[in-house]
């Protein structure tokens, strides 16, 4: 087994690092499933342990490479996490735990080999796509009636109807071009673009319907936790309190909402409940340990 070979050839220092990462992701997966968040003590603890243990190894082995790789890994994953967070793709817990992995495992840019974390990210994209589709299907099955209702509602909106017409015309033109051209490759490209465009549009509709019917819930302001995604803008006495643009509610905003709740100026808050994504990282990490980079699996 490949995993046995990895363990056999791995130095004890690296085994400790990879074992800590495994445990951290396992804990993060459990809390993400249970509460839809990863506690800060786990995330910041992982970052602290990452820097600390690599600094310790640098001192023990008298090699600066450990701490340098740790800093580079943290910086690279900080940049990726920042982009994904502000793009609305990851929550704060997802982003922080990746920063911790970067600090713990590190990236050696001078080794000439593909870094483990690069393989992990590639695998995470593949696993993430399958994981997201499977999770969405489970939500659709669980909230079948609500999903169908939301899908029909979104499909009938003016913007969607206009988009449908544009997609239909584009599809028809591309298919027509595919039959007109004589080059087999060009024909294949036109058909591919036509089918992918249509499929992507309806996939987008399905995702919007899933979000509206399966991932929104009303909660008491006292039940809010830092980082929760507010689905609808909240204004009280004409003043903005919180909303979707915040990309996660802050503690001071929660305290304000609780105050307004006690004054009976607000009852419930509409929150978007995201997909617990840390388990996807855990699966991708375990698969990377066992199989390596998916791109080279069948090479």
Residues 110 and 155 reside in one and the same domain: no
What pLDDT does 22 receive? Answer: 93
% of the chain with per-residue pLDDT over 90 = 14
Name the phi and psi angles at 8, rounded to 5.
Answer: -65, -40
Residues 9 and 50 reside in one and the same domain: yes
Residues 111 and 151 reside in one and the same domain: no
CA distance 293 to 193: 28
Residues 6+ apart with CB under 8 A from 257: 221, 224, 234, 241, 242, 266, 269
Residues 39 and 110 reside in one and the same domain: yes
Residues 154 and 116 reside in one and the same domain: no
- Decide: 228 and 248 in contact? Cβ < 8 Å: yes
What pLDDT does 27 receive? Answer: 92
Please identify, among 166, 188, 214, the residue that sits at the C-terminal boundary of a domain: 214
What pLDDT does 2 receive? Answer: 44
Residues 102 and 123 reside in one and the same domain: yes
Each residue's pLDDT tens digit, 62-115:
888 889 999 999 999 999 888 877 766 666 777 888 899 999 998 887 777 778
Residues 22 and 61 reside in one and the same domain: yes
Give me the CATH number covering residue 32: 1.20.120.1220
What pLDDT does 5 receive? Answer: 47
Residues 10 and 126 reside in one and the same domain: yes
Comparison of pLDDT for 169 and 275, the residue scoring more: 169
Query: Based on the structure, what is the number of domains in the chain?
Result: 3
pLDDT(261) > 70: yes
* For residues 250-255, average pLDDT: 84
Residue 9 lies in domain: 2-140+276-296
Residues 7 and 106 reside in one and the same domain: yes
Q: Considering the chain, what is the average pLDDT of its residues?
A: 82
CA distance 55 to 62: 10
* For residues 203-225, average pLDDT: 81
Can you give the three-state secondary structure of 130-168, one letter per residue?
A: HHHHHHHHHHHHHCHHHHHHHHHHHHCCHHHHHHHHHHH
Residues 125 and 9 reside in one and the same domain: yes
What pLDDT does 47 receive? Answer: 92
CA distance 120 to 207: 26
What pLDDT does 89 receive? Answer: 64
Out of 6-20, 37-51, 109-123, 259-273, least confident range: 6-20
Can you read off the two tokens belonging to residue 143?
Answer: 């909230």
Residues 170 and 281 reside in one and the same domain: no
Comparison of pLDDT for 237 and 97, the residue scoring more: 97
* For residues 177-193, average pLDDT: 83
């Amino acid at each position: 087994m490949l995993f046995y070979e990895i363990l056999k050839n791995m130095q004890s220092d690296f085994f400790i690092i990879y074992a800590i990462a495994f445990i951290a992701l396992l804990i993060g997966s459990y809390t993400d499933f249970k509460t839809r968040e990863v506690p800060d003590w786990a995330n910041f603890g992982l970052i602290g342990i990452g820097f600390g243990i690599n600094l310790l190894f640098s001192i023990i082995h008298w090699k600066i490479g450990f701490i340098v790789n740790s800093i580079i890994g943290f910086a690279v994953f900080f940049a990726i996490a920042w982009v994904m967070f502000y793009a609305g793709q990851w929550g704060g817990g997802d982003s922080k735990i990746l920063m911790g992995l970067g600090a713990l495992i590190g990236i050696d840019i001078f080794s000439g080999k593909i870094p483990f974390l690069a393989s992990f990210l590639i695998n995470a994209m593949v696993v993430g796509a399958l994981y997201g589709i499977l999770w969405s299907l489970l939500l659709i099955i669980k909230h079948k009636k609500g999903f169908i209702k939301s899908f029909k509602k979104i499909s009938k909106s003016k913007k969607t109807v206009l988009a449908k017409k544009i997609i239909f015309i584009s599809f028809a033109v591309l298919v027509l071009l595919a039959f007109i051209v004589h080059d087999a490759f060009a024909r294949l490209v036109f058909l591919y673009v036509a089918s992918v465009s249509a499929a992507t549009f309806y996939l987008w509709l399905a995702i919007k319907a899933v979000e509206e019917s399966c991932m929104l819930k009303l909660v008491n302001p006292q039940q809010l936790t830092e980082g929760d995604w507010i689905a609808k803008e909240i204004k009280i006495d004409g003043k903005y309190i919180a909303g979707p643009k915040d990309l996660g509610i802050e503690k001071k905003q929660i305290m304000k909402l609780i105050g307004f709740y006690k004054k009976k100026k607000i009852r419930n808050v509409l929150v978007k409940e995201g997909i617990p994504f840390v388990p996807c990282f855990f699966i991708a990490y375990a698969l990377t340990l066992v199989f390596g980079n998916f791109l080279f699996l069948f090479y």
